[in-house]
Chains A and B, each alone.
Chain A
Amino acid sequence: MAGKTDFGPPFYKDLLPPVILKNYGQWKYHERVKPGVLKHVAESGDELYTIRVGSGRLVSTDWIRDVCGIADQFCGGHLRFTSRHNLEFLVSDKNQVEPLIAHLNKEGYAVGGTGHAISNPVHTQGWIHCHTPATDASGIVKAVMDDLYEYFADSKLPAYCRISLACCLNMCGAVHCSDIAILGIHRKPPHVNHDTVRAKCEIPNVIAACPTGAIRPDPKEKSLTVNEDKCMYCGNCYTMCPGMPLADPIGDGVSIWVGGKISSARTPPKFSRLVIPFLPNNPPRWPEVTSAVRNIVEIWATHAHKHERMGEWIDRIGWERFFDLTGIPFTVQLIDDFTLASETFRSTPTFKW
């Protein structure tokens, strides 16, 4: 069949379990049976149980074969994945639910992530396979979720909590609208390699790629020069041109953003806001990051009302109170100075001490 193109993905209806084909679009309601388990009931009365399992996102074909074996045993050979890298076993026979969970627990799978829990963090490739990372992705996620596992396995938070990680400002994935976003950042301007710039880069495109106008032609070198005072290390020039690397073991690290959301429930979607401008890359377990994230989660969980997402809680109490309660120091980096900065400045003397 060599040479065949544009035939598209497998047709989804060929892959749906019989209970879904029968009740497609005819679901009536659902219940959260217990952490990690959803029950959907159709107009026909048919029931579908979903058992959600966290995955590390980076998985081997052996792992896929393992979970296929489980799906054959308990789910008639059907399974699905979620938009947050979870695996879901779909069970139409209620009697199989508890044996499946017992089997998953015995084999060490992470059952949870439903309801008022921390779901599987969306994340990127990091040092494993990306050429522009400012930090690793899978390693931090592993360390953070080992630490917060109780909040994945149980459903005991005031509301959903979505943690996401992107290893650079490109932000593959929607980390900029997460309850807690972990974002890799650089802190040093690119180091211009004139030979590489001359050989491999389209100079006008690199200049145009800079959001702050920090890059200018260097006619003498037939290359580029960076106005370091204007550079905020986004790395877009490096994406355009391999002669502008800016990764650096001391300069690179992690920033923490909070209070974003995607859903329109109660309040409109909103961006996460910067609260910690830099934490060092400290592999393999990034202890500064794990403790910062745990602190924010627990202060929110202690003070928020029921159903109040991180950002809704902060909107109610005010950012000054957020910094007060979390003990996070407020630094000048947290005050915006990009294009829409003034929208974030306060124009009223009504605030808290």
Chain B
Amino acid sequence: MAKDSKTPLLDQLEEGPWPSFVTEIKRAAEKKDSAKDLLHQLERSYMDRIGHWKHGGIVGVKGYGGGVIGRYSDLPEEFPAVAEFHTLRVNMPSGWFYTTEKLRELCDVWDKHGSGLTNMHGATGDIILLGAPTNALQPCFDDLAEIGFDLGGSGSDMRTPSCCVGPGRCEYACIDTLDLLHSVTMEFQDELHRPMFPYKSKIKISGCPNDCVASVARSDFSVIGTWRDSIRVDSGEVTNYANEGMDIQAEVVDLCPTGCMKWDAGAKKLSIDDGECNRCMHCINLMPKALRPGKEKGATILVGGKAPIVRGALLSWVIVPFMKMEPPYTEFKELVRKIWEWWDENGKMRERLGELINRLGMRAFLKAVDLPPVPQMIRAPRANPYYFWDPEEVK
């Protein structure tokens, strides 16, 4: 496919075993001038060692404030077909499951209106339709609506929430991540489509502490499935793992962070002091046939996770150690609304929830959203004597 001699640098990225995005752009370029100009502008970036996209610009579809990212080439005379090359963020279905019929419908719409290039998927989880001129945005959205695809979030709104595969295929799932995600997405359509917050707000849902959607690192609200009772043990299967060559003492027991397990090598018997287990998943990950999460399942709610901009990266903090997660998920939704209200009232522009909690203090946050302080929230109590009392408490 490397007939286009105008791209000698990018052509080198068609070699090698890993799938080539250059090949993909070239495939689209056979049908679309915009994809061809994208390829040529990218080659220019490879020569210049700098990007060639201008700063945003507000574009969108009727009724929404988000979901479309404006993008303009800074070399429009040379690459006119990407002078306007906007992105549509399309809300993916829970767990990224598709039928081929649905995907083909999506391809038909995108071939009609845009560059034919996509990300499956973007970092937030949306289907990214990469590159359409301004006048194609509304017709494209209308056709997407026709086949049942709505737009996702962008700007200072609730960004498209995402979740792991959950009960769709994973025996570790302690909550119905797929259903919770769909329910939350439908509940907060207004917050998703009409930016009105101090900054972006993200919700990510993982079914167990393995956290396959990285909720703890990149969401203001991290929902992580867990359990409260005992790990379910199938002793026969434990023995089978041992017989098949697993060194249960070295690989499982010695790596347990709480030291709550014992292995009797002679009797091939594993015992667990469940009261001391912190449910890290290591033993279950190693022996999924023998060990399973308990039956009293729910989620730990953590808040505040984010990437560096503006005041540094944060990992989410535990604020509710255990919450039952059953439809219609009222307790969770009410908590989200209450926290948004506090953030909206107190947050400065471009201040994420975690940064606001850092600025005003966890004490102020817990009081505002009416959550009781519990030791599960912290790694250690404070080591300084600079703390407050409410005058009401000093009587």
Hey, which bits of chain A sit against chain B, CB under 8 A? 1-12, 14-17, 20, 24-25, 27-31, 40, 48, 50, 54-65, 68-69, 71-72, 77-83, 85, 87, 90, 109-110, 122, 124-133, 136, 138-139, 141-143, 145-146, 149, 152-153, 166, 169-177, 205, 208-209, 211, 234, 236, 238-240, 242, 247-249, 252, 262-267, 269-271, 281, 283-285, 306-307, 338-340
Contacts and interface: CB of A to CB of B under 8 A. Distances in A.
B101 to A, nearest CB: 7
B83 interface: no
Nearest to B30: A62
B103 interface: yes
B282 A171 contact: no
B216 A138 contact: no
Contacts of A90: 169
A7 B91 CA distance: 11
B280 A264 contact: yes
Contacts of B190: 6
A25 B173 contact: yes
A71 B118 CA distance: 19
A171 B35 CA distance: 26
Contact of B169 (A1, A48, A56): A48
A64 B27 contact: no
B162 A269 contact: no
Q: Which of A57, A85, A169 has the most CB of B within 10 A?
A: A57
A280 to B, nearest CB: 9
B333 interface: no
Nearest to A50: B169
A22 to B, nearest CB: 12
B386 interface: no
A130 B285 contact: no
Contacts of B308: 169-171, 176, 234
Contacts of A71: 100
Nearest to B256: A266
A208 B16 CA distance: 46
B145 A1 contact: yes
Of all A-B residue pairs in the complex, the 7 with the closest CB atoms, nearest first, are: A146-B16, A242-B55, A25-B167, A12-B94, A171-B307, A68-B100, A174-B214
B21 A15 contact: no
Contacts of B339: none
Interface stretch (B120-128, B269-277, B323-331): B120-128
A223 to B, nearest CB: 16
Given A27-B171, A122-B123, A142-B20, A78 B99 contact: yes
Interface string B101-123: 11110110011000011111111
B46 A139 contact: yes
A283 B24 CA distance: 19
A12 B97 contact: yes
Given A54-B18, A83-B212, A127 B62 contact: no
Q: Which of B56, B142, B171 has the most CB of A within 10 A?
A: B171
Contacts of B107: 61, 64-65
A172 B100 contact: no
Q: Which of A11, A28, A63, A126 has the most CB of B within 10 A?
A: A63
A152 B289 CA distance: 25
A214 to B, nearest CB: 13
A299 B308 CA distance: 28
B299 interface: no
A176 B313 contact: yes
B91 A15 contact: no
Q: Which of A27, A28, A152, A252 has the most CB of B within 10 A?
A: A27
Given A68-B104, A83-B212, A271-B315, A15 B150 contact: no
B13 A1 contact: no
A169 B211 contact: no
A264 B209 contact: yes
Interface residues of B, number: 124
Nearest to A235: B309
Contact of B45 (A8, A136, A267, A271): A136
B25 A60 contact: yes
A16 B16 contact: no
A146 B189 CA distance: 41
Contact of A129 (B16, B53, B104, B312): B53
Given A80-B95, A131-B53, A239-B309, A269 B103 contact: no
Contact of B98 (A62, A79, A110, A284): A79
Given A12-B95, A59-B21, A85-B121, 11 more contacts: A5-B150, A7-B148, A12-B179, A50-B169, A64-B120, A172-B122, A249-B48, A264-B211, A284-B13, A307-B251, A340-B312
B247 to A, nearest CB: 9
Contact of B13 (A143, A240, A306): A143
A15 B307 CA distance: 32
B382 interface: no
B311 interface: yes
B173 to A, nearest CB: 7
B134 interface: no
Interface in B289-330: 289, 292, 307-313, 315
Q: Which of B71, B210, B217 has the most CB of A within 10 A?
A: B217
B100 A12 contact: no
Contacts of B212: 83
B380 interface: no
Contact of B150 (A6, A142, A240): A6
B110 A59 contact: no
A145 to B, nearest CB: 4
Given A247-B51, A307-B255, A285 B91 contact: no
B251 A306 contact: yes
Contacts of B18: 54, 56, 110, 141-142, 145-146, 149, 152
B189 A281 contact: no
A131 B309 contact: no
Given A59-B118, A264-B211, A149 B16 contact: yes
Contacts of A139: 10, 13, 21, 46
Nearest to B46: A283
A242 B54 contact: yes
A27 B169 contact: yes
A109 B101 CA distance: 22
